Amino acid sequence: MTTSPNPPAPGQGAPGAPDAAHAQALEDLRYIRRTMEGAASFTALSGWGVVAIGVTAFPAAYLAEHAMTHRGWMLIWLVEALIGVAIGVGTTVRKARAAREPLFGRPGRRFALTFATPMAAGAILTIALYYGGMVGILPGMWLLLYGTAFATAGAFSVPTVPVMGLCFMVMGTAALAAPSSAWLGNVFMAAGFGALHVVFGALIARKHGG
């Protein structure tokens, strides 16, 4: 309403050239879409959400340390994973809505699919290793594959995301190389799912609008 009445644009959409105007309009829409997708890929993930996930990992690590059985230990981390997913999805949806950004545009879909693949591998390995009695490997494997998910899906996001993925992978590798002990496993879990999330979440929030 503050704009002054615009005079007809000379040469643009001139009468008698509907084909040219049509082609121009289509090309304009494509350009807008490309620009939005290129610019939007970095907002989807909520930095504060990632911080929140990190914060919940510390009490989980504390509880896990006091678990009496492998089964109890596993359950604590599975519940923590579910809480993490809920926070992650919830805050991402909220951030996308606030930015009026479609969550499942092309970058969003690509991110989700690429992220889900290593996570599915992780779920299968979790079952196999648990029933194979190799619970000690789980923290390292989880960190490694979770990191892989972010490192690969991060290609469709801001550089901070794949860097976070790489840090998780390094943490996972260290956990796998470390002497097998339940205590160390929980320490690595807290350092990875707790500290790394908090640090990178804060970075994302500061640099990419929340």
Partner 1 sequence: MAKPGTARTAPPSSHAPELDRLIHERLRLGIVSALAVNEALSFADLKKLLNTSDGNLSVHARKLEEAQYIACTKTFEGRLPRTEYRLTAAGRRALERYLEHMEALIRATREA
Q: Is 127 in the site for partner 1 (CB under 8 A)?
A: no
Q: How many residues bind partner 1 (CB under 8 A)?
A: 36
Q: Which one, 21 or 75, has the nearer CB to partner 1?
A: 21
Rounded Cα distance, 33 and 101, in Å: 11
Regarding 101 and contact with partner 1 (CB under 8 A), the answer is yes
Which of the ranges 7-15, 46-54, 177-185, 193-201 carries the binding residues for partner 1, by CB under 8 A? 7-15
State which of positions 43-82 bind partner 1 (CB under 8 A). Answer: 43
159 is a contact residue toward partner 1 (CB under 8 A): no
The answer to whether 18 contacts partner 1 (rule: CB under 8 A) is: yes
- 3-state SS record for the chain: CCCCCCCCCCCCCCCCCHHHHHHHHHHHHHHHHHHHHHHHCCCCCCHHHHHHHHHHHHHHHHHHHCCCCHHHHHHHHHHHHHHHHHHHHHHHHHHHHHCCCCCCCHHHHHHHHHHHHHHHHHHHHHHHHHHCCCHHHHHHHHHHHHHHHHHHHHHHCCCHHHHHHHHHHHHHHHHHHCCCCHHHHHHHHHHHHHHHHHHHHHHHHHHCCC
Of 139, 161, 134, nearest to 57 by C-alpha is: 139
Q: Is 203 in the site for partner 1 (CB under 8 A)?
A: no
CB 70, min distance to partner 1, A: 45
Nearer to partner 1, 39 or 89 (CB): 39
Question: Is 177 among the residues that bind partner 1 (CB under 8 A)?
Answer: no
CB of 75 to partner 1, least distance (A): 39
Among 67, 93, 99, 103, binds partner 1 (CB under 8 A): 99
Judged by the rule CB under 8 A, the positions of this chain that interact with partner 1 are: 1-3, 5-9, 12-15, 18-19, 21-22, 24-26, 28-29, 31-32, 35-36, 38-40, 42-43, 98-101, 209-210
